[in-house]
């Protein structure tokens, strides 16, 4: 937290009597940056960091996505036969279980990432996710081992959720701390490019299996294939992450290779992140983070996870039909997401986030009315309306969220705030929507739920500070060239007086 202004804290009369002393105190607390304080990024290192974080994130969300897209089949395999809606609710309840333990993962991995480093923790989350997903593919069905099938499924879903608790906060922190200030939105957007790529890979593989296999084959063994693929994919992600160096900001915090002078020390702390400090000192920012992430996650999971099930279970389309349309929409979003990141660098995070929130607030109902119309074209247009609103948030959020917290508690604070919100709002989205439709009989409930989330998001975006093109809190400025560093130093020099 910023130090108080000595002139505001002191007696005004004392300030008048000793102006030189108080000027010296102000300069001591807010010294000018020197050239050695400013981080000049290595473009090749930034790109390697972005690639490893994004590919690892893609593999994490491939693992998570396949469960969403196989929800109907998993309901049949692991839960007793009976009412289809009950089986689907049981399947989505198990989906939500993984989110219930995500805050525990965030509270465990987040402070650890602030203590031992971002790189080590991201490698560990990669291992745990791969193990959990691979193990699900080996669980016998309910017909074979009875209730133990569901128990094992829930256990390994909890392992997935626990590992994911340290993933997003770490990956977004990793990219944000590597990227230059003026391009943090552009580089951060590749993290969500990875998320979409993971979903696309999962949806593509599940679509191919539904197309090639009949229902009996899918329930007997076909559903296992995507989960078993996760093992080798996890090893690839682990290899990429272990090859990286630690972020410059964390190296500076640890007194490593990224040295800075007293000017930078004024905004950096050596204290390690801990939960008590996060909840005690940063609770207002945590609440803001939870509201932003809640609105973002409800709309994200509603479109990217729940929509295929909605099209098949509520509107009567085949599983392949819904997945193919969603696949096309996600590929389109992947094509434009980096441009959205660039726009957030140019115009700011708030305008892009506000555009996404307002899009869901005003376009959700028209979009779902179109989706209910029979035909590929109206469904595609409706999903594109939702997708364009979502991409405004996808391309911006991964740069906006890490900038809310200072370096020494960034990983921990973001992991706690993100995962608390994801647990309460994100993972429960398919379950809540399915239950609301069952209770009300209206298949427009997803639209109303998204609109309510977007309203909260609009208020949260209005309350946040703009962070585009500014240094991260607790870190010195980060630029791309020596010329930019020299300009920053020159800008602080007083104008000569004649």
3-state secondary structure the chain: CCCCCHHHHCCHHHHHHCHHHHHHHHHHHCCCCCHHHCEECCHHHHHHHHHHHHHHHHHHHHHHHHHHHCHHHHHHHHCCCCCHHHHHHHHHHHHHHHHHCHHHHHHHHHHHHHHHCHHHHHHHHHHHHHHHHHHHCCCCCHHHHCHHHHHHHHHHHHHHHHHHCCHHHHHHHHHHHHCCHHHHHHHHHHHHHHHHHHHHHHHHHHHHHHHHCCHHHHHHHHCHHHHHHHHHHHHHHHHHHHCCCCCHHHHHHCCCCCCCCHHHHCCCCCCCCCHHHHHHHCHHHHHHHHHHHHHHHHHHHHHHHHHHHHHHHHCCCCHHHHHHHHHHHHHHHHHHHHHHHHHHHHHCHHHHHHHHHHHHHHHHHHHHHHHCCCCHHHHHHHHHHHHHHHHHHHHHHHHHCHHHCCHHHHHHHHHHHHHHHHHHHHCCHHHHHHHHHHHHCCCCHHHHHHHHHHHHHHHHHHHCCCCCCCCCCCCCCEECCHHHHHHHHHHHCCCCCC
Q: How many CA atoms lie less than 13 Å away from 494 in the CB half-sphere?
A: 3
Give the span between the Cα atoms of 174 and 191, in whole angstroms.
10
Plot region of 375 (φ>0 → left; ψ -120 to 50 → alpha; else → beta): left
Helices 167-178 and 118-136: crossing angle in degrees, nearest 10, is: 140
Q: What pLDDT, on a 0 to 100 scale, did the predictor assign at position 254?
A: 59
pLDDT at 3: 43
Tens digits of pLDDT across the chain (498 residues): 444 444 445 567 766 766 766 565 555 545 566 655 677 777 787 888 888 888 777 877 787 778 777 877 887 788 776 666 666 677 777 767 777 888 888 888 878 877 777 777 888 888 888 888 889 889 998 888 888 888 888 888 888 888 888 878 888 888 888 888 889 999 999 999 998 898 888 888 888 888 888 878 888 888 899 888 877 877 877 777 777 666 666 666 655 444 433 333 433 333 344 677 788 888 899 999 999 999 999 998 888 878 877 888 777 777 677 778 888 898 999 999 999 999 999 999 999 999 999 999 999 999 999 988 888 889 889 999 999 999 999 999 989 999 998 877 888 888 888 888 888 887 778 888 888 988 998 889 999 999 999 999 999 999 999 999 888 887 778 777 767 667 766 766 555 544
Tell me what pLDDT residue 258 has: 40
Q: What is the pLDDT of residue 304?
A: 81
């Amino acid at each position: 937290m910023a130090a108080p202004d000595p002139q505001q804290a002191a007696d005004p009369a004392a300030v008048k009597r000793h102006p030189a002393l108080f000027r010296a105190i102000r300069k001591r607390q807010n010294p000018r940056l020197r050239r050695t304080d400013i981080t000049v990024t290595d473009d090749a290192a930034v790109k390697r960091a972005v690639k490893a974080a994004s590919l690892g994130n893609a593999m994490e969300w491939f693992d998570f996505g396949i469960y969403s897209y196989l929800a109907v089949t998993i309901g049949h395999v692991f839960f007793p036969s009976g009412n289809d809606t009950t089986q689907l609710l049981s399947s989505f309840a198990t989906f939500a279980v993984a989110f219930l333990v995500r805050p525990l993962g965030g509270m465990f991995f987040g402070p650890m990432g602030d203590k031992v480093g971002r790189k080590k923790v991201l490698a560990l989350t990669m291992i745990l996710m791969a193990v959990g997903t691979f193990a699900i593919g080996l669980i016998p069905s309910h017909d074979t081992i009875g209730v133990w099938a569901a128990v094992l499924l829930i256990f390994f879903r909890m392992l997935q959720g626990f590992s994911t608790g340290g993933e997003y906060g770490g990956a977004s922190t990793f990219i944000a701390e590597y990227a230059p200030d003026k391009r943090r939105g552009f580089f951060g957007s590749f993290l969500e490019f990875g998320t979409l790529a993971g979903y696309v890979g999962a949806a593509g593989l599940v679509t191919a299996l539904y197309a090639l296999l009949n229902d009996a084959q899918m329930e007997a063994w076909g559903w296992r294939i995507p989960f078993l693929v996760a093992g080798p994919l996890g090893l690839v992600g682990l290899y990429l992450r272990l090859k990286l160096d630690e972020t410059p900001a964390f190296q500076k915090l640890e007194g490593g290779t990224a040295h800075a002078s007293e000017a930078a020390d004024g905004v950096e702390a050596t204290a390690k992140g801990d939960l008590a400090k996060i909840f005690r000192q940063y609770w207002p920012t945590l609440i803001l983070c939870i509201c932003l992430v809640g609105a973002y996650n409800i709309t994200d999971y509603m479109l990217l996870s729940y929509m295929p099930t909605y099209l098949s279970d509520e509107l009567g389309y085949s599983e392949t039909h819904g997945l193919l349309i969603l696949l096309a929409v996600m590929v389109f979003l992947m094509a434009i997401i980096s441009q959205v990141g660039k726009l957030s660098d140019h115009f700011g995070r708030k305008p892009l986030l506000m555009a996404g929130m307002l899009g869901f607030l005003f376009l959700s109902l028209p979009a779902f009315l179109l989706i209910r119309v029979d035909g590929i074209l109206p469904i595609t247009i409706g999903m594109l309306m939702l997708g364009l609103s979502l991409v405004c948030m996808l391309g911006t959020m991964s740069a906006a969220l890490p900038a809310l917290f200072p370096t020494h508690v960034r990983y921990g604070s973001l992991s706690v705030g993100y995962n608390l919100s994801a647990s309460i709002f994100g993972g429960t989205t398919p379950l809540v929507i399915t239950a609301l439709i069952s209770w009300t009989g209206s298949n427009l409930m997803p639209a109303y739920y998204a609109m309510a989330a977007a309203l909260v998001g609009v208020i949260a975006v209005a309350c946040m500070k703009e962070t585009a093109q500014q240094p991260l809190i607790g870190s010195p400025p980060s630029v791309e060239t020596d010329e930019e560093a020299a300009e920053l130093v020159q800008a602080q020099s007083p104008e000569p007086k004649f």
